[in-house]
Structure 1
Amino acid sequence: MPGGIEPPLSVIVGWPPPNHVDPETRGPALLILIILLGVLAVITVAARFYCRLFLTKNAGADDWMLLAAMVPTIGFAVSVALSSESYGGRKHIWDILDPSNLSPLFDARKITFANELLYLFASVGIKLSVLLFYRRLADGILPKAFIWAIYGIAAFVLAYFVTTVISLFFTCQPLEGFWLRILPQWRQAHPGACISEGAAVLAISSISALQDFLVALLPTLLFARLPMPRKQKIALGAVFGFSFFLCVAGILRIVYVKRVFYDTYDVTWQLYDVWLWMIVEVLLGPICASAPALRVLFFRYVLPRIGVEYSITGDMSSHGHGSAYISNNRASVRDETYVQVGEDDSVLTQGGPAANTKRTSRFGGKCPTSAEEGWFHTMKDTEYNDQTYELRHHGPVKSSFD
């Protein structure tokens, strides 16, 4: 069965009569998801800025890019909620169709245009924020091949952004054809005025999903080949690996986009699923992007409260009192590497004084020396040894990674 946003008259006349009294509707899952994930995303980004501005004091370009991306992200969430609740997004198209008043259909198409534009700005901003974070990690530490891969993916994302914005505004000429094309009379009077929206949206969705996969894969390929303890690899994989769920959301979005444009003319009913997975992708993006920064809160406030000792290698033990052991077996140490443990802010270094830790990144803020990026900070120009450092103190373990 063909489908899309341009139903022929033969299909329209076969639709049931509109039900404006008690029409069948989709459930409130989309609205609930928007509220829950939206609130969680805002809280997570706020916590990230608290860590970067007041704890580690190393806010950089990645943080400000994410903050800028939160504006269209929130706008997209609000716009989708309006689509669902006020513009027929939970109803069958024949239940919002009124030949004497087509304004609701036109309004639904206008807000669809806004949704697509806001989604584009939000998703691209989040991806660039993550890539800027990778770049800050790599500054003087990671291989040049990794840095060039970051640049290549960023260029890919920016090229996609520019071409998609242009194509969106030129989907129909004139632009008002974007919402008028649902009328058979307008299509007959303006042949060739619009490109195939289904093909365009499928292509855009596929490219976006590919970019999600590349952004998630990049750090995975890096740490998988590095000589670090297995537990540490698992922990690091958990932080970055959650981004692969966004790839799944992007793939499911493609499936439902294909259904909307090629399998049914009941587009308002089927768009519900498209919006749902777009919301998951966009609102989970800031949460995943902020996960490394939030490790500082975990180390500073959570572990000390439960009496857990944390080691550089990722080993944890629960003693509560007595000696705290920071094991560095098979771990690499640089002049710039340091860990602070204890209320006296003791600094553990090898190869130089603690002052050597104060480096400046070209991409904003101090270079990553805190717990959030500490996994990566000891990966180049390394010397391996079997030393075990012991730091003794009394009382519950107090950890600070600034």
Structure 2
Amino acid sequence: MDQLQQLPPGNAPGLPYNSLQTGTVIAFAVTYGICSFFLLLRYIQAVFLVKKFEPDLFILTLSYGAALVYFITMVKLMHHGWGRHLVELNMTDLVEFNKALLPNTLTYLITPGVTKMAILVVLFRINPSIPYRICVCAIGVAILAYTVVLTSITGGPCSPLKEGTLTCLMNVALAHAVLNIVSDLAVAFVPIPTILSLQLSAKQKLTVTCILGLGSGVVVCSIARLPYVRQMAHDDDTTYTEAILGVWSIVEVNLGIICGAAMRLKPLLTRWLPQLGLFSSRTRSNGKSLGSSSMGLRADPRPVQRNYQLHSVQKGSAGPPSTGDNGRIHIYREFDVTTTEHDARSTGPSDSDSIEKVPTRV
């Protein structure tokens, strides 16, 4: 009884998982389940509708697999004290904990960067402007650079398998947290000027707002992690604090995948939910159509009315009859014709192919 009273509050020594560890499993199950649903929709769209696998779908699949690996390494850490207070653990637990910490840390350093690359692939296509595309590419290069550098440092000189690397690991974690927040903000805000320049309907604005809201959720998770990263540098109960940090990391990673998958679901929505009209109005930027938008901001055809008169041409009223007319009267009837502007991808006749004069000879 005395030993149980000495344990920090919130622990249940007789149970396989305490409340924090159980909450971590639940957080992953819920968010990863939503990820699976959205990614499944993307594959259904790729196989049955668009008939092709787009580059961002491949990248998102890699990120989806990495998120699962990240959780598996986290479960392994739970068996060696992750999510429990340090006073509960013995030296053997701590040694095994450090061995399992390396793959867990490396996986997390890589996964958010891969997800943001998938999102940038989509954002690159929504605006053909050269300055805009240079900006998107610059963000991608920066994310790739800091991910490679921090991963190399963690797997090399700052490896938890080496002694005396705790301070180095804390510096890497803090640097990654700050760079992660900056890159999340950059990815979230880079398309906003383009979106604001579009003339969108209320439903389209709601759709874009929801997608940007998911992106903002990723930023919130990144910011929420930062205080715990800073706390670990001066915290003696690192095994417990790291678990709180891990919950935010799980939600952040999975929200990013959900956001990346949702950005390209326009063909599926317009096919299965046409009554919503989410992508049905014409969108223009400064009077010019943006063409095929990767976020699904397409245009409706607008009818063009042309008026024609009905008249007849009798013999003698329009010059001498041609040879072989035999005194007949020729009547030409012309009708009102409504033509429709077609999308560039349409296989039907364009406006220039419409027949403006339809004569019939009686």
TM-score for the superposition, normalised by structure 1 = 0.65
> Where do residues 206-217 of structure 1 align in structure 2 (5 Å cutoff)?
206-217=178-189
> What secondary structure sits across from 1:137 in the alignment?
coil
> What secondary structure sits across from 2:191 in the alignment?
helix
- Matches of 2:28 and 2:251 in 1, distance apart? 8
Equivalent residue number for residue 336 of structure 2: none
> What secondary structure sits across from 1:242 in the alignment?
helix
Query: Does residue 107 of structure 1 match 2:96?
Result: yes
What amino acid does structure 1 have at the position aligned with 2:277? Y
Query: Does residue 272 of structure 1 match 2:243?
Result: yes
Equivalent residue number for residue 202 of structure 1: 174
Match of 1:153 among 111, 114, 139: 139
Query: Does residue 354 of structure 1 match 2:346?
Result: yes
- Matches of 1:149 and 1:90 in 2, distance apart? 40
Equivalent residue number for residue 318 of structure 1: none
Query: Does residue 294 of structure 1 match 2:252?
Result: no
Superimposed CA distance per residue, residues 35-66 of structure 1 (whole angstroms, 9 cap, x where no aligned partner): 12222212221211221232122422111111
What amino acid does structure 1 have at the position aligned with 2:239? T
Query: Does residue 69 of structure 1 match 2:63?
Result: yes
What amino acid does structure 2 have at the position aligned with 1:148? I
Match of 2:231 among 259, 265, 274: 259
Contact (CA 8 Å) 1:260, 1:271: kept in 2 or not?
yes
Equivalent residue number for residue 77 of structure 2: 83
Change (3 A) 1:296 1:21: same
1:298 to partner: Cα distance: 2.8
> Where do residues 148-227 of structure 1 align in structure 2 (5 Å cutoff)?
148-172=134-158, 175=159, 178-179=160-161, 181=163, 187=164, 196-227=168-199
1:348 to partner: Cα distance: 6.2
> What secondary structure sits across from 1:243 in the alignment?
helix
Superimposed CA distance per residue, residues 100-149 of structure 1 (whole angstroms, 9 cap, x where no aligned partner): xx2321221222211111112211111111111112333xxx32111111
> What secondary structure sits across from 1:282 in the alignment?
helix
1:207 to partner: Cα distance: 0.3
Equivalent residue number for residue 285 of structure 1: 256
Equivalent residue number for residue 304 of structure 2: none
Equivalent residue number for residue 353 of structure 2: none
What amino acid does structure 2 have at the position aligned with 1:151? C
- Matches of 1:220 and 1:67 in 2, distance apart? 26
Match of 1:237 among 209, 212, 216: 209
Contact (CA 8 Å) 2:177, 2:225: kept in 1 or not?
yes
> What secondary structure sits across from 1:196 in the alignment?
helix
Query: Does residue 45 of structure 1 match 2:35?
Result: no
Change (3 A) 1:298 1:32: same
Contact (CA 8 Å) 2:67, 2:253: kept in 1 or not?
yes
Contact (CA 8 Å) 2:221, 2:249: kept in 1 or not?
yes
Query: Does residue 310 of structure 1 match 2:293?
Result: no
1:251 to partner: Cα distance: 0.7
What amino acid does structure 1 have at the position aligned with 2:101? T
Q: Alignment RMSD, CA only?
A: 3.3
1:89 to partner: Cα distance: 1.7
Change (3 A) 1:95 1:225: same
Counting matched residue pairs gives 297
Contact (CA 8 Å) 1:124, 1:157: kept in 2 or not?
yes
- Matches of 2:87 and 2:64 in 1, distance apart? 35
> What secondary structure sits across from 1:118 in the alignment?
helix
Greater C-alpha Rg: 2
Contact (CA 8 Å) 1:220, 1:241: kept in 2 or not?
no
Superimposed CA distance per residue, residues 140-174 of structure 1 (whole angstroms, 9 cap, x where no aligned partner): xx3211111111101101111211121112334xx
Identical positions, percent: 19
- Matches of 2:283 and 2:167 in 1, distance apart? 60
Equivalent residue number for residue 26 of structure 1: 19
- Matches of 1:105 and 1:212 in 2, distance apart? 33
1:195 to partner: Cα distance: 5.3
Change (3 A) 1:17 1:245: closer
Contact (CA 8 Å) 2:56, 2:121: kept in 1 or not?
yes
Equivalent residue number for residue 94 of structure 1: 87
1:278 to partner: Cα distance: 0.3
TM-score for the superposition, normalised by structure 2 = 0.72
- Matches of 2:109 and 2:278 in 1, distance apart? 41
Higher relative contact order (CA 8 A, sep 6+): 1
Superimposed CA distance per residue, residues 336-375 of structure 1 (whole angstroms, 9 cap, x where no aligned partner): 76669xxxxxx96448672499xxxxxxxxxxxxxxxxxx
> What secondary structure sits across from 2:60 in the alignment?
helix
Structure 2 unaligned runs (5+)? 1-5, 293-297, 302-338, 350-362
Superimposed CA distance per residue, residues 280-337 of structure 1 (whole angstroms, 9 cap, x where no aligned partner): 011111111011223333332234xxxx3627555xxxxxxxxxxxx78998657876
Change (3 A) 1:329 1:83: closer
- Matches of 1:165 and 1:236 in 2, distance apart? 34
Contact (CA 8 Å) 2:270, 2:278: kept in 1 or not?
no
Contact (CA 8 Å) 1:220, 1:240: kept in 2 or not?
no
